[in-house]
Amino acid sequence: MANPSISSKKRPKHLELWKIRLPVPGIVSILHRVSGAVMFLVLIPVLLAALDGSLASQESFEDLRFQLSGPLVKLVVLGLSWAFAHHALAGVRYLLLDLHIGIDLATTRLWSKAVLVVSGLLTLLVAVALW
Ligand code: HEM
């Protein structure tokens, strides 16, 4: 039989996503999944197309160079750079966690913030190099 003290509790009928306050490690985790998916769906096709364009002929190489100088393309490159930086840093952190390194709460919070800050700084460096 169901426990009345549990079943009579007022439970939310639906999740109010904007009321969920995710801790920093949770945000890093979601961004790790998002960046992995973005790289798989966008970075790989873009890199393959760029490689193809750079190797096909002198004209296609020049065409590629011209396209890469456009501001919109630079923004896409910047987004993909962030995705790679975040995914790689957060990924190394997960591999360390798998080895039981840095699993206490204080360290996990510190490293999560470090992942966000360092990936942001690396993206800033790419932006400076591009513009
Ligand atoms: C230094 C480079 C990288 C590192 C250290 C790394 C690390 C990891 C780790 C540890 C996971 C598993 C996370 C978990 O246990 O939930 C993972 C997942 C994944 N990675 Fe990477 N990765 C790297 C590069 C890449 C690249 C270049 C791509 C795509 C082109 C990629 C795509 C993915 C995807 C799609 C997942 C699954 C994400 C999910 O569903 O949670 N990764 N990565």
Q: What is the pLDDT of residues 64-76, one digit of tens each?
A: 999 889 999 999 9
Q: Cβ neighbours of residue 110 under 8 Å, at least 6 residues apart?
A: none
Q: What is the pLDDT averaged over residues 84-95?
A: 98
Give pLDDT, residue 6: 59
Q: Is 36 contained in some domain?
A: yes
Q: Is residue 2 part of a domain?
A: no
For residue 106, being part of any structural domain is answered with yes
pLDDT at residue number 55: 93
- The predicted pLDDT at position 5 comes to 55
> Averaged over 1-23, what is the pLDDT?
73
Interval between CA 87 and ligand 1 midpoint (Å): 6
Residue 1 has pLDDT above 70, yes or no: no
CATH number of the domain encompassing residue 74: 1.20.1300.10
Is 7 inside any structural domain? no
**Count of domains observed in the chain:** 1
How high is the pLDDT of residue 14? 80
In whole angstroms, give the CA distance from residue 53 to residue 118.
32
Q: CA Rg, the chain, in Å?
A: 21
Comparison of pLDDT for 1 and 76, the residue scoring more: 76
Give the Cα separation of 64 and 46 in Å (integer): 11
Rounded distance between C-alpha atoms, residue 42 and residue 85, angstroms: 15
Higher pLDDT, 85 or 17: 85
- Say if 120 falls within a structural domain: yes
How far, in Å, is the centroid of ligand 1 from the Cα of 33?
7
- For residues 120 and 131, what is the distance between their CA atoms, to the nearest angstrom? 16
| pLDDT level of residue 41 (50, 70, 90 thresholds) | very high
Residues 6+ apart with CB under 8 A from 120: 82
CA distance 57 to 77: 23
User: Which atom from ligand 1 is nearest to the alpha carbon of 95?
Assistant: 10
Mean pLDDT (the chain, rounded): 92
Residue 17 is assigned to a structural domain of this protein: no
Verify whether ligand 1 is closer than 6 Å to residue 40 (CB atom): yes
Residue at 122 is within a domain: yes
Q: Which domain holds residue 52?
A: 24-130
Asked whether 30 lines ligand 1 (CB < 6 A), one says no
Residue 10 lies in a domain: no
